[in-house]
Structure 1
C-alpha cells in the first residue's frame, strides 16, 4: 500500500522523522542529578496476564511480523507439499521458539549487566546527550531525504 501511494509514504516518513526528533529532544532535555542506581523509581508490578496480552497484541497488530512471514517463510515450503498450512505453522513455531530463546538470553544478560554496572550522573547525562543528538540528526536526515 505504501509503495502504491507516494504521498502516504511521505506522510509516514515525516511522522517517523518527527517522532525521532521528539525522542532526541526529550533525551537532550533530561536532567539526571543523581546516579541511576541511587534514584528511587517505584513501579507497580503488572500482572503476568496483562503483560502477556500486551505482548501478544503488540505482535499480532505489528504488520512487520505478517510481512516477514509472508515474504520469508514460503520459500522454505515446497510448492508440491501436500500440507502447506501445516508446514507454515511448523516453521512459525520454530521461529517463535528461536525468538523466545533469544529474548530470554537477552533479558538475562541485560539483568546481569545492569546489576553489575553502576552509571554516574555525569556519564548518564553525557550518554543522554549523545543519543539525543543522534536521534535528532537521524530524524532530520530522514525528513530531508
Structure 2
C-alpha cells in the first residue's frame, strides 16, 4: 500500500472510495433513471397533495422539466392529478396505489449491492458497517 502524508490521506481515500463505489454500485442510464423517478415520487409523497411548483422547488429543478416527468408518471399510473376543490386553477399531485407500492419496494440497485455484500465474511461485513457508521456521522 502506498504511503501518504496526513495532508494527502483524505484526497487519496476519496479517490479510492470513488473508484470502488463505481465497481460496487451499478450506475448506468437505467439506474440513474430509477433514482430520478424515485426522487420525484418521494417528493410528491412527502408533499402531497403537492403542486408542481412545490415539487420543483423541493427537487431544485425547473417546472417544465418536472412537469414532463410528472406527465410520464401519470401515464404510468403512479401519480394522479386532481383539481384542488379550493382553487380550480391549481392541480394537486398524489401517488396512486401503484405509486405507493413502487416507493415501498427497494430500489433495484439495493438487490445488486446486497448480493455482493452477502459474499463477504461476517468480520468483513462488520468492518463495512463500521465504515458506514463513521461516514454517516460525517455527513
Length-normalised TM-score, structure 2: 0.29
Question: Would you tell me which structure has more helix in proportion to its own residues?
Answer: 1
Higher RCO (CA 8 Å, separation ≥ 6 residues): 1
Question: Would you tell me which structure has more strand in proportion to its own residues?
Answer: 2
Length-normalised TM-score, structure 1: 0.28
Query: Of the two, which has the highest radius of gyration?
Result: 1
